[in-house]
Structure 1
Amino acid sequence: MTLKKRYIFLAFIFISNLLFSQKDGDNYYLKNILISLEKKHNVKFSYADDIIKNKKVNTKLLQLSFKELLVKLEKQTNLIFKKVSNRYVLILEKDNSSFICGYVKDTYSNQPIFGAEVYLADNSIGTVTNEKGYFELSGHRKTDTLVISLLGYQSKRAIIPQQKNTECRHYTIEEYSSQLNEILITSYLTDGITKSNNGTIEISPQKRGILPGLTEPDVLQSLQLLPDIQSPNETTSGLHIRGGTPDHNLVLFDGIRIYNPAHFFGMISAFNPYIIDKVNIQTSGVNAKFGNHIAGVIDIETDSKIDSIISGGFGTNLTHADAFLKFPLSKNTAIHVAGRRSLTDAFNSITFQRTSDRVFQNTIIANNQLNDTENFFDKDNTFFFNDFHMKLLVNLGEKDKVTLSQLYVNNKLDYRFGNEDESFIQNDNLSIKNFGISGSWNRIWNDNLKQNTTLYYSNYNLDYIFNGEQTVETSYRESSIKKNEIKEFSLKSLLSTSLNNNHQLSFGLEYFRNRVSFTLGRTYSLFPDNDYKTEENNINNTFSVFSEYQFKKNKDFNISLGVRSSYFSIEKKFAFAPRLFLQSKLTDNVWFNISYEKKYQNISQLIEFSTSDFGLENKVWSLSNKEEIPILKADQISAGLVFKNNGWLFDLNMYYKDVDGLSSLSRTVTSDSDIIQNGQSRSKGITMLFKKTFDNYTTWMSYSLGATDFSFPLANNGISFPDDNDIRHSYFWSHSYQINQFNFSLGWNYRTGTPFTQVSEINENNSQDFIIDKINGERLSHYHRLDFSTTYKFNLSKKKRWKGKLGVSFLNLYNRRNKLQKRFFIANDGSNNTLENEETFSLGFTPNAVFRLEF
């Protein structure tokens, strides 16, 4: 045989073997059939090669429906074809000894995770979890490693159990946001409040246990019970963190900066707690990715999970009603909608009355009610608040996730007072709105590199107009106007990488642009020379670069080093802000931590006196400028100890903080509102928390010793003096008890009074000025109150699909009249100026009730 014929013969033999190896009459090898079926039906088969080796099936089966096809395949191959989701099908051997199963849950919520990928490390076999977090796999080897992965969570590797017929195991995975922050204290004040190794306190409203005086998980009201946070005026928006003022805090909602975080003039937070997943509070060692603030960070995140079924809820208390709905559009897409609206304009409850007494005291409304006669009226008055939230979630494959979030907050008051013939009439119209929208893209490049890119637009608008007119006796007209608007845009991108199990590094860029404007004006026909109108409109562009490095070892040692460098265009100034947080385990039960941080802020609130007649809103936001309002700068150092053992918890923290660049207008340090001074403040304090849990009973006590003093060269003869909201001693004692479906909580709050400036007489040389001895040299009487709340949870269906809650709460049980503020003013009786004073009191005895249903 020639060489050429020999090659032809060998080629013929090779082709014949290849054809007969793929096809035997109408029978094909199963492996090749599966490849065709995956393309045709858009599915994925998971199997081990050894299981399907040499298995053949008839091609006529391809004409059947997919459901019938699986049945026939099982008969012809003597294998098991198990559909675990719409896309994944497991192929198992009957009586397979290498079969494993398990459940995947969230580490901290313990909720099942749907759609997580579960596969062998070499990717030869894989599947996904169902709605219950359940999965099955077969065909693995004894040396294989199981990998569990899901977008937004840290991948987990586990050794596969080697024994046969093993029961289904439970696996937990944690979100990336928690990857570096192992939980140090799992139940800080109560369930649903945790403290991480980096000092961050996390509140999960849906898991939060009962707190004194609260039947609902209001986010900002809950924060007031933390040792580092005070609310001297009892409002949710008036949170003072370690000597800072509320405008020094950074409040974020799904990445949107919120400048008005409250309803009802600060009495109720503007965020629906039933769509919030978690709230992260940082008071020291704040992560470098957060900028433009000098106090604390309150980072609110709504639910970002795509559920497989529709869920929602609705409820009401004695001030407002709310509803929310979480609707999956597909396996990878969902939309969440939530809204609240006050009942105050339709239902005059006792809760609303008591809250109104607190809010409107010493205002035109309260004064008119005291002086009302039969000839006067309150006509067509309107007061309401509402908020609306919508969120779209989209998973773009296994590595990309996109969310769009929106929030609208609105407060409206239209108050009219006058006589029947309208010869005298006053009209106050106040509107406060905050609208924001944000977008977020999360990308997992690989196991060691993640990227988060966010952008947001926020618009805050305060609009107040007063008009008064009298046409009898002495005719006159007067008006006041106050407008304040903030338009802010931000774009930020953050890259995070794991160098190894101990070293983590992140790097980011941020650009934000804020435009702040205000208009202040007044006219009075009797004294036109005093008319004025002031307008300001400034724009600032800030460019920031930041980085954070973290080293951790065996969960016993953790150090974070961060730096943020920013350029403020309005000041043409660079700012360098380093951050440090270190925590180390000293013994089995004791941890030590220390932190340092420098921070800058170029937007803050000023008190504006001339249009504060209405008594509710007399603050305006303003950008820093070179002439009068400098950029705020803060340096803070703190240290602490944590002890926990056998249900006991002791948390001790000490801090020292300096702030430079304060404006006197924002601190009320002079009686002349035209004077603007620059000064500084110094805050120092110690906070302690003791807690003990006994089965169903928990008690905790917190104590704060603090002082914040101001120093302005031209005020108080250059001598430092206490802040208006300085609280030297604060103490809280709480008790909670659970029995079956009932929860009870009782708490007593005590604190020393805030300072005020005692005025002795009117200055004879200037009849519009006071003679004072010392700024904030006196203090109000001590503040204390007792609060109680109870809730009952129940199920309306056997499958516990529909759940309900009833609850009642009582604030200030013994109805103490606590003084919150005292101020002096000059009154004129028509001929002489007299010195008068007015006091602001706390909430009296205030009951509330709640009813909720969720599914």
Structure 2
Amino acid sequence: MKKLLQSITLLFTTFVFSQENLTVAYADTPLKQVLLDVQNKTALSFSYAEEVIKDKKINFTGSDITAAVLLGALADQTGLVFEKISETLVIISVPVTKLDVCGYLFDSESNTPLPYATVLVKGTSMGTSTDETGFFQLEDVEEAAKLIIQYVGYADQTVEASAYGTTNCKNIYLRPKAQSLQEVVVLGYLNKGLDKTMDGSFILKNTSLGILPGLVEPDVFQSIQMIPGITSLDESASGIQIRGGSPDQNLIYFDGIKMYNTGHFFGMISTINPYVTESVKIYKGGASPKYGDRISGVIDISSATQVPDTVYAGIGVNGTHADAFLKTPLGKNAGLVLSGRRSYTDALQTPTFDALAEKVFQNTKIVTDFGGQVVEDDDDASEIVGDENFFFYDANGKLILEPSNNDRITIGGLLTRNDLDFSSSDDEDLTQDLLIIENQGASFSWQGTRWGKFQHSLKAYYSHFDSDYNNTVSEDLLVEEENLRKNTVEDYGMDLNISYDFLPHQNIMLGYQYSNSDVFFQLFRDEAGDADIEPGDDDEIPLPSETRDFNEIRQNVNQANTVYAEYWYQPANKGFVSLGARASHYSLVDDFFLEPRLNVEYPITDKLRLKVTAERRYQPISQLIEFEDTQLRLENNIWTLSDGNDIPVLESSQFSGGFLLNVDDWTLDIDGYFKKIKGLTSFTNGFTNAAEELSQGESDIVGLDVLLRKKIGSYRIWLGYTFNDVEYRFEELQSNPFPGNNDVTHNFRIANTYETGNWQFSVGWNYRTGLPFTPVDSFSTITGDIDFGPVNSERLPNYHRLDASLIYKFGISTSGRTKATFGVSLQNVYSRQVPISIFYRVDQDPNTGLDELNQIEQLSLGFTPNATFRLYF
């Protein structure tokens, strides 16, 4: 190898160097002195590290020779590589030697193999996983490289690649972490990179996540929808519903920043760049008491947590946007991670964008008569005028500091923005929609260990959400109607906790949290274009049936002070017990709230585990559903604080129990649950037949999540099923209970993945029961009044679609450092579209002057192709 590199170098330099004749005489002369002499005699200059040329001596005499001949002699005597990168600059380096490496991973205590562990080549995209025996192998690894070995529940270990050549395939022993709360009980729960841990949560590792049906990128919010009990009823990335809860009931963090908007393009694309996401922790229930202020699931997303060893970067493009990221060291104990994405849809519209835009900007209108019967079905009732001027971007950065082996400090920042200018027309009206949604945030974290048994954590965050929407309806250039909707949330807070391992496998944690939330919204409507409306102090929230013109402004501030504690015990039989509680005071309602938590997993055998959780949770902030007849239906949610009157603090009591069986690459996971929610309002649940007065109610949710998975070599198949019975009780709306708006009785998914060589394939089919909706009994064309039938007494058609995807990975450089990925995905392969929601709008017939009732349907996503190409270097 060395002789080959020297020969290549000699031929290269002979061809490109200018033919400058030299006379030299070196006798045991240090290489550095020789290089200085050559620089004085030629136009060449040299770049090198001192340790590379240290102790190198040259013995060479020549007259009337070229610089190329001299450099060839220097390369031959030193064994170094002289590489010309410009007309005058030569870089001197040590030849890169590559080798194949291998090893076996074992638990240091039990000496048992560790299958499906992640083995990464530090600073590159190269990596693999161990097989069932704990064995791994990597080809063409640089001899000087380091291997990072990761296994959930164990301390990461870094080893020298040179020590594990295929001629010396040695054992590597990993030590369990002192706090192994994330110890895995199911590796590759669905596919590799998604594991289930002992406390019932799920850990998603983006760096090792396998392919999933319909996806060509490891998007967090799309990926976790494969887990039974987690879904999005509007097919979006941001509309995550966990065990019958609504999206605003989920607590979502990104690097410690509390998120209030998680979707681009009306939620169809995640705001989180998957290529800087390192891990995600997901709770469907039984969350640690350090998580509060939401009553449903928890999604805690983290980007890089360790200082990068070398510069590592990537760029990519798909059917809607392009992105880039950079991970680079800033010295030995500091590193920086940067990323950015921007859509190009305002300049180029691809088939992917066309499919998404068809769903987002659709406005199918069905006209009914006074009896509510369909008299006209016009699928093209609205025609797009001009271009859909839409774009989005996001950027984030993170500074990582490791001042000591026991401390890690991170400082992060995030910015996301959506910008829309859209107009459409029907027979008589021109409608224009202007929308800007922005989320900014910053975070600070200091985590450390003292004396081996004390751990401390100090975190702080700032989050600012701003949504500004303007809708105008015009006829013959005259504004007939104007709607404004503005919503801002400014939230900052901190978290301090300490934990102590006071006995083997036992730990106690104590913590304090503070947060300050300032929430503002304005709802304005001027239907005739001449209303004289002044902002008032009236706290009544306007309902569609109360008035056609209004200007409602509301701003509230809530300060929350919370103390929490958690005790956990992990016995020798690999069981798990967690007892915890939160006690919070909310200033807006001037009241205290106690939240007990219990989480138990007990192994009956080494293959069968029982699990039980119980918890009470409270939520002081939620989203209203604004029902005015604006054209866009996907962004009508408004964040607002509870006030103890119209909008009470949400309360949830949750219980779950089930078992987990894991044997011979079969996994059967069954979990039943019951959830009771109090404090719901008719506006926070989006009823189309809201009463004259804002009404309060509650819900009972009974559900069952089932997963059956089988792994056969490189092939995986899983079947997921969720049964949900969501029952609402709103006495002011209806005397008897009725199905909730998100009551999906049956949700079934089957998916397959297969890997061979550099190829990955996946196909999946999803089926679910149609959502309930409220029918119209009658409609008056004179007064515009609507008489609704029983609440949610009818259902939309059942929903199903087939998705497929493939990914191909390959190297494009001889060094192996530059790699590429190409992927293709197809969503809704057979292009079946059904209504997934229904709204009603009263409009005026321009010919008769009478009111007409328009039934507005939002159809499901049609056939949606996508492709991606990425480079890593």
- Name the residue aligned to 1:122: none
Residue 488 of structure 2 is aligned to residue 485 of structure 1: yes
Alignment of 1:265-276 (within 5 A): 265-276=266-277
Contact residue 680 and residue 697 of structure 2 kept, 8 A: yes
Contact residue 191 and residue 209 of structure 1 kept, 8 A: yes
Residue 526 of structure 1 deviates from its aligned partner by 5.6
Task: Name the CA shift for 1:601/1:728 in 2 (closer, same or farther; >3 Å).
Answer: same
**Of the candidates 459, 466, 470, which is equivalent to residue 471 of structure 2?**
466
- Name the residue aligned to 1:61: none
| Helix, strand or coil at the partner of 2:146 | coil
Alignment of 1:120-269 (within 5 A): 132=146, 170-173=172-175, 179-269=180-270
| Helix, strand or coil at the partner of 2:732 | coil
TM-superposition CA deviations, 1:240-291 (whole Å, max 9, x none): 1111000000010001110100111011111000101101000111000001
TM-superposition CA deviations, 1:745-794 (whole Å, max 9, x none): 11111111111111121269x93432233100111111111111011111
Residue 173 of structure 1 deviates from its aligned partner by 4.8
Q: Distance in 2 between matches of 1:302 and 1:134?
A: 17
- Name the residue aligned to 2:796: 780
Contact residue 480 and residue 611 of structure 1 kept, 8 A: no
Residue 382 of structure 1 deviates from its aligned partner by 2.1
- Name the residue aligned to 1:382: 389
Contact residue 361 and residue 632 of structure 2 kept, 8 A: no
Task: Name the CA shift for 1:633/1:424 in 2 (closer, same or farther; >3 Å).
Answer: closer
Contact residue 691 and residue 700 of structure 1 kept, 8 A: yes
| Helix, strand or coil at the partner of 2:292 | coil
Residue 825 of structure 2 is aligned to residue 818 of structure 1: no
Task: Name the CA shift for 1:185/1:533 in 2 (closer, same or farther; >3 Å).
Answer: same
What letter is aligned with 1:281?
I
Contact residue 756 and residue 823 of structure 1 kept, 8 A: no
| Helix, strand or coil at the partner of 1:358 | helix
Residue 809 of structure 2 is aligned to residue 800 of structure 1: no
Residue 796 of structure 1 deviates from its aligned partner by 1.9
What letter is aligned with 2:822?
L
Q: Distance in 2 between matches of 1:477 and 1:833?
A: 15
- Name the residue aligned to 2:602: 584
Q: Distance in 1 between matches of 2:410 and 2:299?
A: 20
- Name the residue aligned to 1:746: 763
Q: Distance in 2 between matches of 1:104 and 1:652?
A: 30
Alignment of 1:689-838 (within 5 A): 689-716=707-734, 718-762=735-779, 767-829=783-845, 830-838=848-856
| Helix, strand or coil at the partner of 1:817 | coil
Contact residue 609 and residue 673 of structure 1 kept, 8 A: no
What letter is aligned with 1:245?
S
What letter is aligned with 2:670?
L
TM-superposition CA deviations, 1:191-229 (whole Å, max 9, x none): 000000100101111211111111110110011111011
Identity %: 34
| Helix, strand or coil at the partner of 2:245 | coil
Residue 569 of structure 1 deviates from its aligned partner by 0.3
- Name the residue aligned to 1:619: 637
Residue 619 of structure 2 is aligned to residue 610 of structure 1: no
Residue 724 of structure 1 deviates from its aligned partner by 1.3
Task: Name the CA shift for 1:428/1:447 in 2 (closer, same or farther; >3 Å).
Answer: same
Q: Which moved further from structure 2: 621-630 or 824-833?
A: 824-833
Q: What's the TM-score, normalizing by structure 1?
A: 0.78
| Helix, strand or coil at the partner of 1:110 | strand
TM-superposition CA deviations, 1:684-714 (whole Å, max 9, x none): 1111111111112111101111111110111
Q: Distance in 1 between matches of 2:242 and 2:342?
A: 29
What letter is aligned with 1:325?
L
Q: Distance in 2 between matches of 1:435 and 1:837?
A: 37
What letter is aligned with 2:500?
T
- Name the residue aligned to 1:53: none
Structural RMSD (CA): 3.2
Contact residue 282 and residue 300 of structure 2 kept, 8 A: yes
Residue 451 of structure 2 is aligned to residue 446 of structure 1: yes
Task: Name the CA shift for 1:820/1:408 in 2 (closer, same or farther; >3 Å).
Answer: same
Residue 657 of structure 2 is aligned to residue 639 of structure 1: yes
- Name the residue aligned to 1:669: 687
Q: Distance in 2 between matches of 1:728 and 1:556?
A: 35
Task: Name the CA shift for 1:787/1:372 in 2 (closer, same or farther; >3 Å).
Answer: closer
In structure 1, list runs of 5 or more residues that go unmatched.
Answer: 1-64, 72-100, 115-129, 136-147, 157-165
Contact residue 664 and residue 670 of structure 1 kept, 8 A: no
Alignment of 1:268-287 (within 5 A): 268-287=269-288
Q: Distance in 2 between matches of 1:643 and 1:269?
A: 33
What letter is aligned with 1:854?
Y
Residue 429 of structure 1 deviates from its aligned partner by 1.3
**Of the candidates 486, 495, 501, which is equivalent to residue 498 of structure 2?**
495
Residue 357 of structure 2 is aligned to residue 343 of structure 1: no
Q: Distance in 1 between matches of 2:425 and 2:780?
A: 35
- Name the residue aligned to 1:11: none
| Helix, strand or coil at the partner of 1:222 | helix
- Name the residue aligned to 1:407: 414
Q: Which moved further from structure 2: 668-677 or 626-635?
A: 668-677
Contact residue 122 and residue 309 of structure 2 kept, 8 A: no
Task: Name the CA shift for 1:439/1:531 in 2 (closer, same or farther; >3 Å).
Answer: same
Q: Distance in 1 between matches of 2:707 and 2:456?
A: 37
Contact residue 826 and residue 834 of structure 1 kept, 8 A: yes
Q: Pick 1 or 2: higher relative contact order, CA cutoff 8 A, min separation 6.
A: 2
Residue 362 of structure 1 deviates from its aligned partner by 1.3
Q: Distance in 1 between matches of 2:555 and 2:854?
A: 37
Contact residue 104 and residue 112 of structure 1 kept, 8 A: no
Task: Provide the aligned length of Structure 1 versus Structure 2.
Answer: 711
- Name the residue aligned to 2:131: none
- Name the residue aligned to 1:560: 578
What letter is aligned with 1:244?
G
Alignment of 1:839-854 (within 5 A): 839-854=857-872
What letter is aligned with 1:751?
R
Residue 379 of structure 1 deviates from its aligned partner by 4.6
What letter is aligned with 1:762?
F
| Helix, strand or coil at the partner of 1:499 | strand
What letter is aligned with 1:171?
Y
Residue 455 of structure 2 is aligned to residue 428 of structure 1: no
Residue 372 of structure 1 deviates from its aligned partner by 7.8
Residue 497 of structure 2 is aligned to residue 509 of structure 1: no
- Name the residue aligned to 2:74: none
Residue 103 of structure 1 deviates from its aligned partner by 11
Contact residue 620 and residue 649 of structure 2 kept, 8 A: yes
Q: Which moved further from structure 2: 800-809 or 432-441?
A: 800-809
Contact residue 254 and residue 302 of structure 2 kept, 8 A: yes
- Name the residue aligned to 1:84: none
Contact residue 131 and residue 308 of structure 1 kept, 8 A: no
Contact residue 432 and residue 462 of structure 1 kept, 8 A: yes
Contact residue 711 and residue 717 of structure 2 kept, 8 A: yes
Residue 118 of structure 2 is aligned to residue 109 of structure 1: yes
Task: Name the CA shift for 1:843/1:471 in 2 (closer, same or farther; >3 Å).
Answer: closer
What letter is aligned with 1:109?
T
What letter is aligned with 1:252?
Y
Residue 610 of structure 1 deviates from its aligned partner by 2.5
What letter is aligned with 1:686?
L
What letter is aligned with 2:411?
L
Q: Distance in 2 between matches of 1:67 and 1:320?
A: 43
Contact residue 326 and residue 337 of structure 1 kept, 8 A: yes
Residue 823 of structure 1 deviates from its aligned partner by 3.0
Contact residue 682 and residue 690 of structure 2 kept, 8 A: no
Q: Distance in 1 between matches of 2:486 and 2:692?
A: 19
Contact residue 105 and residue 112 of structure 1 kept, 8 A: no
- Name the residue aligned to 2:704: 686
